[in-house]
Amino acid sequence: MDNNDLKRLPRLTAILTLLQTKRLVTARSLADKFDVNIRTIYRDIKALEQAGVPILTEEGKGYTLMEGYSMPPVMFTESEAYALITVEQIVLKNNDTSLVREYSEAISKIRSILKHSIKDKTALLAERVQFRKNTSGDSTSNSLSLLQGALTHFNLTDIQYTDENNKVTSRLIEPFAIYSTQGNWVLIAYCRMRKDFRAFRLDRILELKITDKHFKPHQITLQTYFDNCRKKYFSDP
């Protein structure tokens, strides 16, 4: 880099972080974020390339980093990344805006060092995890991590489930989303036995097996699911 590049190092560092955080970044979005013109962004990208950063250009889409490239040496496993994303959803509900702001900045940096394949899965999980209210610190289940993996990999899951009447049934389900309420984690899944979406409390799952069979991703959003439940039951699910 020349002297001019060094003077704009903070912006170059921020651009590199964004490139590591997202699969694709457009020149226009970068220009808008840093309040500069697109030509400046072109020069910034060129400066990063000259510094040895392997930036690839996808015509008509934007910039992306070569698979496998990351600056920091630390790496997270898939389960560790899921845990961080889950905590993020809890923090985002906090009343203190400073905590939300600082944690959001921190998690953005963490996302920047994840592998592309894990980025996609954590992005999906962030859309499919919701935290409502937890009034108890007691442990009620031990299957959240496994179900997060089944959700993001679209694995059919076989469970033994106890309902509110203590009746045990075997269910083949398609994990869709997870939320927490009243001290319990709840899995929303398409139940092949009932041929509809159902909510399963994790503390009532007696056994579970993640199969190697896959299901087709459902196109509805978590918010759509909740909206449908409100229309059906006239209250929050």
What confidence tens digit (pLDDT) does each residue in 141-186 have? 888 889 999 999 999 999 999 998 999 999 999 999 998 876 678 9
Mean pLDDT in residue range 103-108 = 83
Instruction: Looking at the structure, tell me whether residues 60 and 85 fall in a common domain.
Output: no
Rounded to an integer, what distance in angstroms lies between the CA atom of residue 55 and that of residue 119?
17
Tell me: do 157 and 215 sit in the same domain: yes
Under the banding of pLDDT at 50, 70 and 90, the label for residue 191 is very high
> Given this model, what pLDDT does residue 137 score?
52
Regarding whether 200 and 141 lie in a shared domain, the answer is yes
Instruction: Evaluate if residue 14 carries a pLDDT over 80.
Output: yes
Determine the pLDDT at residue 211.
97
Residue 147 and residue 128 in one domain = no
Residues of the chain with pLDDT > 70: what percent?
86
CATH number where 61 lies: 1.10.10.10
Structural domain contains residue 127: yes
pLDDT at 6: 47
pLDDT at 208: 94
Tokens linked to 93: 């509900």
Shortest CA distance to 210 belongs to which of 166, 133, 132, 152? 152
pLDDT at 57 over 80: yes
CA gap 100, 92 in Å, rounded: 6
Instruction: Return the pLDDT at 145.
Output: 85
Q: Which of 4-8, 35-39, 47-51 shows the lowest per-residue confidence on average (mean pLDDT)?
A: 4-8
Question: Which pLDDT score, from 0 to 100, does residue 70 have?
Answer: 65
Q: Which amino acid does the sequence have at 114?
A: L
Per the domain annotation, does 169 fall within a domain? yes
pLDDT value at residue 95: 62
- What's the pLDDT score for residue 139? 63
Q: Give the domain CATH number at 185.
A: 2.30.30
Per-residue confidence (pLDDT) for residue 21, from 0 to 100:
77
Domain count for the chain, please give it.
Answer: 3
For residue 23, is pLDDT > 70? Answer: yes
Which domain covers residue 120, as residue numbers? 78-132
Q: What's the mean pLDDT in 202-215?
A: 95
In angstroms, what CA-CA distances link 99 with 66, 110, 131? Answer: 33, 16, 16
The domain boundary, picked from 92, 110, 132, lies at: 132
Please check whether residue 71 lies inside any domain of the structure.
Answer: no
DSSP 187: E
Per-residue confidence at 3, pLDDT binned at 50, 70, 90? Answer: very low
Residue 13 tokens read as 């560092």
Q: Give the residue with greater pLDDT, 47 vs 153.
A: 153
